[in-house]
Amino acid sequence: HNIRELCPPFHRFISNTYQKPAMLVVCDGETTEYMGSHEGCTQGDVAAMAFYALGVKPLITELSSAFDTSACKQIWYADDSTAAGKLEEIKKWWDSLCIRG
């Protein structure tokens, strides 16, 4: 839903690309088995960062209402987040992240 609302062209690409599960190969040297990846994206998927970014965007927006954005800034990269600024505002951000995220 977030992808469709925030980035319609990317949603079209994702919908077309991920209509069917990706087949994952499990091999132990003697036997080979296949299983479908029915959720999310696989390791190394080029769309993984975009999925994550669009997925956490509502949380980032919601957290912005919990502190003074002129005194504290959120930093998000890959699966990491942090904040920088005045200590009182960082504490408000942290408390809100612990509750919401």
pLDDT tens digits, one per residue of 38-97: 776 766 777 788 878 888 889 999 999 999 999 999 999 878 899 999 999 999 999 999
Tokens at 53, concatenated = 């970014």
pLDDT at 79: 80
State the residue for tokens 């990317």.
10
> Quick check: 15 pLDDT over 90?
no
pLDDT band at residue 37 using 50, 70 and 90 as cut-offs = confident
CB contact at 8 A, 63 and 100: yes
> Does the reported pTM lie above 0.75?
no
- CB 21, CB 38: distance < 8 Å: yes
At 11 the pLDDT is 83
pLDDT at 1 over 70: no
3-state secondary structure of 39: coil
